[in-house]
Amino acid sequence: MYWFIVLFPILIYPWGIDPYYTTTKANYLFVFILCYWLYIFWKKKQHTLIPEKGERTIFVLLIIFLCLIEISTAFSKYTYTSVHGTIDRKEGLITFFSYCSMFLFSYRLIDVKKVNRLLSGIAVVSIVVSIYAILQHYSLDFLPRNSAMRNYSGTYTFFDNPNFFGSYLVLIFLLSLTVYLAQFKKNLIVLYYITICLAFFALLFSNTRSAYLGIFCGAVLLTVFVVYTRNHLWKRWAVLAASLLVIALIINFSEKGHYLDRASSILSESYSVVTNQGTGYEGSSRLFIWVKSLPLIKDYFWFGSGPDTFEFIFPATPEERQTYLGNANIIVDKVHNEYLQIAITLGAPTLFIYLLFLFLIVKKAIQAVKKATGREQIVLFGLISTVIGYLIQAFFNISTVPVAPIFWSILGVTLAKAESHLKNNTERHKISEQKEKFLSA
Domain boundary assignment for the chain: 10-268+333-440, 273-325
Q: Burial code of 247-277, b = ≥16 C-beta within 10 A, e = fewer?
A: bbeebbeeeeeebeebbeebeebeeeeeeee
Q: Alpha carbon 213 to chain centroid distance?
A: 13
Q: Print pLDDT tens along the chain (441 aa).
A: 789 999 999 999 888 777 788 999 999 999 999 999 999 999 898 888 988 888 899 999 999 999 999 999 999 999 999 999 998 889 999 999 999 999 999 999 998 888 889 999 999 999 999 999 999 999 898 888 887 777 777 789 999 889 999 999 999 999 999 999 999 999 999 999 999 999 999 999 998 999 999 999 999 999 999 999 999 999 999 999 999 999 999 999 998 888 888 888 777 776 566 565 556 566 678 888 999 999 999 999 999 999 999 999 999 888 988 988 888 888 888 899 999 999 999 999 999 999 999 999 999 999 999 999 889 999 999 999 999 999 999 999 989 999 999 999 999 999 999 999 888 876 665 665 566 565 565
Which of 204, 201, 210, 209 shows the shortest CA–CA distance to 130?
Answer: 201
H-state helical runs in 113-257: 115-137, 162-182, 186-206, 209-222, 234-254
Rounded distance between C-alpha atoms, residue 100 and residue 110, angstroms: 15
DSSP for 378-397 reads: HHHHHHHHHHHHHHHHTTSS
Q: Contact, 416 vs 110, CB < 8 A?
A: yes
What pLDDT score does 275 carry? 62
Rounded distance between C-alpha atoms, residue 200 and residue 245, angstroms: 10
What pLDDT score does 327 carry? 86
Rounded distance between C-alpha atoms, residue 214 and residue 217, angstroms: 5
What pLDDT score does 72 carry? 97
Q: Contact, 173 vs 393, CB < 8 A?
A: no
What pLDDT score does 429 carry? 58
Q: Which bin fits 45, alpha (ψ -120 to 50), beta or left (φ > 0)?
A: alpha
User: What is the longest distance spanned by two Cα atoms in the chain?
Assistant: 84
Rounded distance between C-alpha atoms, residue 58 and residue 358, angstroms: 9
Q: pTM for the complete prediction?
A: 0.94
Rounded distance between C-alpha atoms, residue 336 and residue 338, angstroms: 6
Question: CA triplet 262, 216, 407: central angle to 5 degrees?
Answer: 105
Q: Which bin fits 57, alpha (ψ -120 to 50), beta or left (φ > 0)?
A: alpha
What pLDDT score does 278 carry? 59
